[in-house]
Amino acid sequence: MKTICHFIRSRSEIFLVLFLLSNLISFALFHSDKKKAEKKAFRIPESNLLGFSALFGALGGILGMIICHHKTNKPKFLILMPLMAAVQLLVIFLVFTVG
């Protein structure tokens, strides 16, 4: 575990770029799905929205939910998105401070 933490810390700029990119993509997926829903077009599966958010993109997903008013009435999203964000932030905190 220490080796993984050291590896990530030694490449913190790359990690930060990947973290931001993951959140940007997650936000874009929520935005795109909202637009598709309005046009009654083919939608992005909920499993894809949740899955990508789980890959360190939960904050972008939450922003997508709030800004785009998308999936805000779905209990699955209201519970899982903040939970994923909390876990992701905790992991980041632990890697950069304790690990």
Segments in the chain forming alpha helices (H): 2-10, 12-38, 46-54, 58-68, 75-93
pLDDT of amino acid 97: 86
pLDDT of amino acid 36: 97
Say if residues 99 and 1 touch (Cβ distance below 8 Å).
Answer: yes
Full residue range of the structural domain in which residue 80 is found: 2-98
Per residue of the chain (99 residues), give pLDDT as tens: 678 878 888 888 888 899 999 999 999 999 999 999 999 999 999 999 999 999 999 999 999 999 999 999 999 999 999 999 999 999 989 888 876
pLDDT of amino acid 99: 63
pLDDT of amino acid 8: 81
Q: How many domains would you assign to the chain?
A: 1
**For residues 84, 53, 30 and 41, what is the CA-based torsion angle, rounded to 10 degrees?**
-120
Residue 42 identity (one-letter amino acid)? F
